[in-house]
Structures are given as structure tokens and as C-alpha cells.
Structure 1
């Protein structure tokens, strides 16, 4: 699959992705990418975030590929049972947040926990860091395998955001391109 053949839905973390974040850069670069905009980036409400994801998938005209980061992954996991599997092609999941161990900000809806460990209804790749303050590698690895994701160990690279120096993130772009090329649609 090529990026131009999919609706690339960008699901940012709490606080949204700033101008230097890899998600924002990819959104500007990839013509079929669009951000799923939430009403409140600072105080994520699980049901509102899920509703927006369900709406965005419903509006998609091509197979959907998620580009999810942080709490965007959690919202996507909660939305998955409400999505039409026929519309879903893949998920590229980066730096999940451990919503079950108290690492989420107080402003985040506690309904984001627990996360389902049911397999996702689409192929996915999860990129995790060994030094992410939002989630231990062991937890990310466990979640990824439960979801049926191919897990990539990114090493000691923080939360894989602009604060950790991953604005352009060329390695991520190459990894995403290889992953997308492996997706076959019926």
C-alpha cells in the first residue's frame, strides 16, 4: 500500500503535536494525512476522543491508516470496537502511554484505563522507547504483542516527540514507509 492510497488519520498525544513534532511534519508532507482534531487537548475526555475517531473513520474515503502517538493510541484502542473493520488498513503506533500506572496527567480522563488487550482488527506496528517517561518498554512490548502489533525497540530515545529531538524523525518515516509497503488490501 502507498500513502496516497489511504486516509492517514493522525491521532496526537495529550496536548496535541506542536509544529516541530513528527506528526505535524508528516501531516504537511503527506497529501492524504489529516489530524483528528479534539475539542480539548489538555484534558482528554475518553468518550469525546473516541467519538471523534469514529467520525473520522466514518468520513474516510480510502482505507484508514492510523498514525497514533501517546494517548492517541489509547483513544484508538478504545475506539476500535466501534469502527468498521472493512475501512481499516493499518496502525502505526508510537510511544504508548501507560494509562494504568498513574503516569497520565491529572487532567486526563481516568476512563482511558484500563486498555483492552484484545487484538486490533488491523495490522499494526508499535514503536517503543526504552527510556520513555510515559511508559516502560516492558509495558509497551506487552501491549504491542497483545494487540498483535509488530514491536520495534527504538532504544533509549525518550517519548519520541519534538522534546526528545524527534521532530523530523527520518528513521520513523523510513520505518513507516516500509511498514505501509507490507500492507496488502483485498
Structure 2
């Protein structure tokens, strides 16, 4: 899969991804990458966030790989549950990092309007990366989401929410998960040829 033929769409979570966040680093180093900008990062509204994701996919006809973090993962699931087939077909796959469990008891109030989390299988290949000590989603919850969404899953040890606070500014190790997803997409493409 030649990198020039696809684009990478970065989908941040609650509060966005500041300059020192790994998603911002990846946007700087991955070719053909852009990010979904939201109108309100502090008080996210599911409908608005899903519409912004849809607009970002619709505005460019090139095939896209989604790279989502936290609430961005849940936004992808909501979008995929209602998106038109024409746009679904543009998505080659998704890397879903540290999904936020917006159904958990201690979920912050501004995120609760994203519940319930869609439980339908995603209509494109995906890799879900969780953590055994993520305060936003337990390892068991990450495994449940991966099973529901049909995602291949990796649960990392001791990496927290995989964000700046947990020491993941550049998260160079994360590229191995992106490359694994891309190899999966290439294998799937060869099987269909």
C-alpha cells in the first residue's frame, strides 16, 4: 500500500491533542495526514463530533486510515454505525488507541452523551490498543469493545491512557501497531485481488 495513495486522519479525544501529544507528533511525521477539528473540545457533543468526522472523510476522496484516541475511538464507532456506504468504503481501517469507556460509573459528565457505545462490528478492519492500567477503560472493557467492534486487540502493560500525562509524547512504539494494521490491510487487499 503506497503511502502516497492514502491519507491518515487523526481523531483526538476530549480536550484535543496538544502539540506535545503523540497524535500531534504523528500528524507532523506521517505523509498525507490531517486531523478532525472539533468546535468544542471541552464540552463534546456526540452529534457535532460525528458530523465533523463525517465532513473530514467526505471532503477528500482518497482512501483513509483513521487514527483515533480516547473519545475519538467512540466517535469513530458512532460514525460507523450511521455513515453512508459511500463514505464507509473510503475507510481502509482504523487504529483505535485507549478508547474511553463513556459508560463507566466514574465517567466525567461532559462525555456521558456519547453513551451508549455502539456495539456493532465496525465495517472496516481495526486494531484496538488498550492498557492494563488505563483509568478511562479497564483492560477487560477494552477487550469487550474490541470483541464487539471486531478489532484485533493488544493490551499493553503499564502505559496508562497512552497520552502526555502517562509519558507518551511521541509514542514511537505505537507505529508498530499502525504498521501491523497496514500489513493487515495489504494482506486483505491481496486476498480480494
Shorter-chain TM band? over 0.9
2:178 corresponds in structure 1 to 176
How far does the alpha carbon of each residue in 1:28-78 deviate from its partner, in whole angstroms, 9 at most, with x for none?
111211010000000000000000011111112211211000000111111
Q: Does 2:50 align with 1:62?
A: no
TM-score if structure 2 supplies the norm length?
A: 0.91
Q: What is the distance in 2 between the residues matched to 1:91 and 1:5? A: 16
Structure-1 residue corresponding to 2:113: 111
Task: Please give the root-mean-square deviation of Cα atoms over the aligned residues, in Å.
Answer: 1.4
Unaligned runs of 5+ in 1: none
CA contact 2:93–2:181 (8 Å) conserved in 1: no
Q: What is the CA-CA distance between 1:111 and the residue it aligns to?
A: 2.6
What's the counterpart of residue 124 of structure 2?
122
Cα distance in 2 between the residues matched to 1:170 and 1:29: 11
2: CA distance between counterparts of 1:61 and 1:127? 27
Q: TM-score, normalised by structure 1?
A: 0.94
Is it true that 1:95 corresponds to 2:95 in the alignment?
A: no
Aligned partner of residue 109 in structure 2, secondary structure? coil
Between the aligned partners of 1:171 and 1:66, the Cα distance in structure 2 is 18
Preserved CA contact (<8 Å) 2:7 2:31: no
Q: Where in structure 2 are the equivalents of 1:1-186 lying within 5 Å?
A: 1-80=1-80, 81-83=82-84, 84-108=87-111, 110-184=112-186, 185=189
| SS in structure 2 of the partner of residue 128 of structure 1 | strand
| Separation in 1, partners of 2:3, 2:135 | 31
Instruction: Give the count of matched residue pairs.
Output: 185
Corresponding residue SS for 2:10: strand
Higher helix share: 2
4+ aligned runs moved over 4 Å, structure 1: none
Corresponding residue SS for 1:142? helix
